[in-house]
Amino acid sequence: MATIEAEGLYDMPTHKDRRHLYFILSLVLIVAGTGTLILTTGLTDRPYRLWPLVIFLLAVLYMYNVSAKRRLSNGVFLGTFVALAAIVNLVAALAEIAVADYWPLYAVAAGLAMVPQGFVRYGEAKPVFLVPAVSIALLGAFLSVFSFGFSTLPFRTFLARWWPGMFVAAGLVLFVVWLFGRSRGAAAARDGDHASAAGEPPAESGKAGGP
């Protein structure tokens, strides 16, 4: 009897297991509640249009799994991108927007998904992932202006007139990279001077927070 009781206590869920369970339960409640609210408020009377919520749920669970256990940066990007794309699909379906109009939002989602991927991989903000992420997101937002019809100027006409602006944009991106690297170098130099004055070895700069 004592052995059975000991085994029962050993098999009891740990605090970490309960934390995972709480996250999964909260996510399921949020997704189920959101889908129910969409139906009860009359945003749609066709339940099959809520399929992106299922994709969102699976994508978030996948992202949580890889970030909490294996810390795979590519998995974080994939999960984040699929979750954001599911939200885009849901909103577009409810608003009855054609794919030809909202497709640039996928580029915005890809740019945003690169941010958590970079933090998981490097452990801090670095130009190597922030600059491409912001550039892709801004490109998607820029193309959305034409795909949604916010601009009366056709895209080909705009490109023919304003194509030199791409050089200006590239120059600004490189300037931001230079400025960011310069500020980090100056901060590292100050830390090294303070450490030398205190008789301590300088701290490493830009150390990755994950494998």
| pLDDT tens-digit readout, 153-172 | 787 888 787 778 878 877 88
Average pLDDT, the chain: 80
Pairwise CA distance, residues 144 & 17, whole Å: 43
Indicate the helix (H) or strand (E) that contains 66.
none
Q: Is the pLDDT of residue 109 over 80?
A: yes
Q: What is the pTM of this model?
A: 0.71
Of 161-165, 174-178, 201-205, the range with the lowest mean pLDDT is 201-205
Q: Whole-angstrom Cα distance, residue 169 to residue 185? A: 24
Among 14-23, 37-46, 80-89, 90-99, the range scoring the smallest mean pLDDT is: 14-23
- pLDDT value at 105 more than 80: yes
**Helices (runs of H) and strands (runs of E) counted in the chain:** 9, 0
Residue 129: per-residue pLDDT: 84
Give the pLDDT score at 158.
80
Share of the chain above pLDDT 90, in %: 32
In the prediction, which pLDDT does 63 show? 87
Please write the tens of the pLDDT for every residue from 115-146. Answer: 988 888 888 777 788 888 888 998 899 889 88
Dist. CA 200–CA 6, nearest whole Å: 50
Residue spans per domain, the chain: 2-155, 164-211
- Rounded-to-integer distance, Cα 48 and Cα 105, Å: 22
Residue 81 pLDDT greater than 60, yes or no: yes
- Calculate helix-pair angle for 104-122, 73-95, nearest 10 degrees: 150
